[in-house]
A and B are shown apart, each in its own frame.
Chain A
Amino acid sequence: GNSVTQMEGPVTLSEEAFLTINCTYTATGYPSLFWYVQYPGEGLQLLLKATKADDKGSNKGFEATYRKETTSFHLEKGSVQVSDSAVYFCALSSRGGGSQGNLIFGKGTKLSVKP
């Protein structure tokens, strides 16, 4: 079945450090891929997405590239800020059948950025 594996946290970085959160997936067909962010006590917000191989999603300085050959969608940011402290979820959207459009999530990676 479909699944998402992302690096376990917590990840602690200093302000302005480079961020990478790894995400790999298993899926039949060609899923869409997403990164969501969750701030404490809140719901999830879509951070970025990619719908086909080699697409690069980007938003607020974050980027991720859909790599079909390595089944990966790693999240990167060149210079993190304290305000980026949150939990980040990688997810894929399944194709086909009655569950089309359902999201499958990784377990989340908690990021803490220190000033």
Chain B
Amino acid sequence: DGGITQSPKYLFRKEGQNVTLSCEQNLNHDAMYWYRQDPGQGLRLIYYSQIVNDFQKGDIAEGYSVSREKKESFPLTVTSAQKNPTAFYLCASRAGTGGLGEQYFGPGTRLTVT
């Protein structure tokens, strides 16, 4: 089945540690995205990548880093510089043609930092 996988579903870390969230897609989509979701808020864009080996900062990139070495993979690292990292993180992808197609979302990773 084609889709987006995120692992793990729940992640716990101590403050001061970096942590990497996995996102893999087998939809052959060009574009991939990372969002952060907090209770009662909409989704906020962290980083996005329109093509392999290229990515752009979104609205809240501070304290996060990404890489896009392969078309199917777009891991997100939450660094110790991120002041409030506890949140629900969603990865998405979009087919490249046309530019206005819908995004497909993974199941999310809930990160808790204490």
A residues engaging B (CB < 8 A)? 31-32, 34, 36, 41-46, 49, 51, 89, 93, 95, 98-103, 105-108
Contact = CB atoms under 8 A, between A and B. Distances in A.
Contacts of B108: 41-43
Contacts of A100: 99-100
Q: What's the interface size class on B, roughly?
A: 20 to 34
Give the interface SS of chain B, mostly helix, strand, loop or mixed. strand
23 contacts: A36-B105, A41-B110, A42-B108, A43-B4, A43-B6, A43-B90, A43-B105, A44-B105, A46-B103, A49-B102, A93-B99, A98-B56, A101-B31, A102-B33, A103-B33, A103-B43, A103-B45, A103-B103, A105-B42, A105-B43, A106-B42, A107-B41, A108-B41
A interface: dominant SS: loop
